Amino acid sequence: MTRRRMQPGEKGEIYYEPVPTGWKAAQYFRDHSGRRRRGTGIGSTKTIARRNLRANIEASMAVGGGGYLPTTKFEVAVRDWLATIQAAAEKGSRSPTTYDTYERSVRVHVLPALGQVRLSDLTTGTFDRFLADLHQRTGFATAKTARTVLNGTCGLLMRRDVLRTNPMRDVGRIEKGESSAPRALTLDEVHALLDVFDASDYAGRKDLPDLVRFLMATGVRIGEALAIRWADVDLQAGIVIVEATVVRVRGRGLVRKSTKSDASDRTLRLPEWAVELLQRRFTGQDLLAPVFPDSRGGWRDRSNVGRDIRVVLRDSAYGWVRSHTARRTVATILDLQGMSARAIADQLGHARPSMTQDVYMGRRVVSGAASHLEGLAPVVQMPPKSAEDTA
């Protein structure tokens, strides 16, 4: 009579044999991958040996998928998960900067603390203590990224039948704490701020006055402004296409890549003063060249530009201003002018108006905003050129 084949997860009979310390219990079982395996347990009595056998088989079943063993280190699983993020970035479904962020979290925080933990020893308490300590030492953003890494890795282990439950499910929340209210500039403050940039030789060398004015004209992100090419600007129609951003990718340098969401792709109508600003800058450059290039005509690093802005404003009354302040200022001006949250969200490139309202207030061709932003004209005009400039 043919013996019936065990199904995945099924166990056979238990056998006992004496050993110097008592008894050894043995049992064949088929793991979740379909492989037939033999489990054992040793104890001073048959009862204890059987109990240890069952515990060992349960541990093996819990971490028996995908080639993992109970003794496999957590580092192996984390790197497997990170490889899936890298593959998605190479296919274009994930941003390369997302991979860089997760890779740094893995390298700097996750692996030093948890890399050598066995998969069979993963517990909610282990993860909860790690994240609580990381949150206290480094802050909300770092702990949140690490939590994403841990949750993603445990999800991978569950999909491979390695874990029966996700130990991250009951980990305590990471509280962000109170956020300061979004702060925008008044028209008088915009005027004073631009005076600071116009009077700074450093800002002039870094080509910041025009860039800051463009941010005030559009409310785009700093990376989006730096990614705009002359091919994206129609000076006759007075519009600019926003469809990319500039990011730094490890091993590749500065890269112009598509924006992070469909909502971020938009066409904006420019105020007339912003069109005049761009007309003054355009002197027949290559249409694929950046509108706001570096000193060699290439892409500019948004982190470096943000640092340059801080340097200019460091000793002024506007040391609190960042590049994102222009977005908040545009959102606030449009809100005060009575534009809807949906229209303002389209201007800023947000999919959800609630994001605009919660974070930035103090579709596609967004035409209404330009007329409201015309009111900035007396404030943002560049100083008249001197005789030497026009010579």
Band the pLDDT of 391: cuts 50, 70, 90: very low
Q: Is the pLDDT of residue 353 over 80?
A: no
pLDDT score of 262 more than 80: no
Query: So what CATH class is 187-384?
Result: mainly alpha
**Average of per-residue pLDDT across 141-145:** 95
Q: Looking at residue 196, what is its pLDDT?
A: 95
Q: How far, in Å, are 149, 219, 248, 351 from residue 291 at the CA level?
A: 37, 16, 18, 26
Contact 202, 191 (CB under 8 A): no
CA distance linking residue 354 with residue 349, whole number of Å: 12
- The pLDDT assigned to 66 comes to 58
Q: Is the pLDDT of residue 363 over 50?
A: no
Q: Is the pLDDT of residue 193 over 80?
A: yes
Q: What is the reported pLDDT for 67?
A: 64
Q: How confident is the model at residue 364 (pLDDT cuts 50, 70, 90)?
A: very low
Lowest mean pLDDT of 22-26, 31-35, 144-148, 339-343, name the range: 31-35
Q: Is the pLDDT of residue 110 over 90?
A: yes
Q: Quote the percentage of the chain above a pLDDT of 90.
A: 49
Q: What is the dotted CATH code of the domain comprising 74-159?
A: 1.10.150
The dihedral through the CA atoms of 196, 198, 203, 209 has a sign that is positive
Question: What is the pLDDT at residue 361?
Answer: 52
The arithmetic mean of pLDDT across residues 234-248, rounded, is: 91
Reported as a single tens digit per residue, the pLDDT across 242-261 is 999 998 887 788 989 887 66
Stretch 273-302: mean pLDDT: 93
Model pLDDT, residue 355 = 55
pTM of the prediction? 0.64
pLDDT-derived band at 95, boundaries 50, 70, 90: confident
Domain boundaries, the chain: 11-62, 74-159, 187-384
Instruction: Report residue 388's pLDDT band, with 50, 70 and 90 as the boundaries.
Output: very low
Residue-level pLDDT at 161? 77
- Band (pLDDT 50/70/90 cuts) for residue 266 is confident
Q: How confident is the model at residue 204 (pLDDT cuts 50, 70, 90)?
A: very high
Query: What pLDDT, on the 0 to 100 scale, is given for residue 336?
Result: 80
- The per-residue pLDDT for range 30-67, each reduced to its tens digit, is 876 677 889 999 999 999 999 999 888 877 766 555 56
Q: Does 182 have pLDDT greater than 70?
A: no
Mean pLDDT rounded to a whole number for the chain: 84
What integer pLDDT is reported at residue 369 of this predicted model?
63
